[in-house]
């Protein structure tokens, strides 16, 4: 199972990045581990067809590829961080693809594919 995840307190760039990444990974489940109140309001009041999956509904043992958008910080992807920790501790080879526009920081997640550009939004990259 492919999973696309963005960061906690997700803003509209995070939401749009999930949708854009789903065009590259059409079989993936879309996960927002938490969102900004304005994004929540939009999702709750505006008709949409964004197939968001609650993070607690993702069986970690079934994830075969993790796609991370709009962040590279381990602490911002909710319980899906356990996949990365398991990759390191068990020497697993679950591919990680990252699309982000934020400046590099210490302890950034690294992936098999990393598309990092200093732009105004991750959506622009995708």
Q: What is the band of 12 on the pLDDT scale with cuts at 50, 70, 90? A: very high
Q: What's the pLDDT score for residue 40?
A: 92
What is the per-residue DSSP string for 3-20? EEE--SSB-HHHHHHHHH
pLDDT in tens, 18-76: 999 999 999 999 999 988 999 999 999 998 899 999 999 999 999 999 999 999 999 99
| Cα 93 from Cα 46, distance rounded (Å) | 39
Percent of the chain with pLDDT over 70: 96
């Amino acid at each position: 199972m492919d999973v696309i995840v963005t960061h906690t307190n997700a803003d509209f760039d995070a939401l749009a990045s999930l949708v854009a990444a789903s065009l590259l990974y059409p079989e993936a489940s879309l996960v927002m581990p938490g969102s900004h109140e304005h994004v929540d309001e939009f999702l709750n009041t505006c008709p949409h067809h964004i197939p968001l999956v609650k993070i607690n509904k993702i069986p970690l043992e079934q994830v075969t590829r993790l796609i991370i958008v709009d962040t590279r910080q381990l602490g911002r992807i909710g319980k899906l961080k356990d996949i990365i920790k398991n990759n390191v501790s068990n020497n697993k080879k679950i591919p990680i693809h990252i699309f982000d526009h934020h400046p590099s920081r210490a302890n950034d997640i690294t992936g098999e594919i990393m598309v990092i550009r200093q732009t105004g939004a991750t959506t622009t990259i995708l």
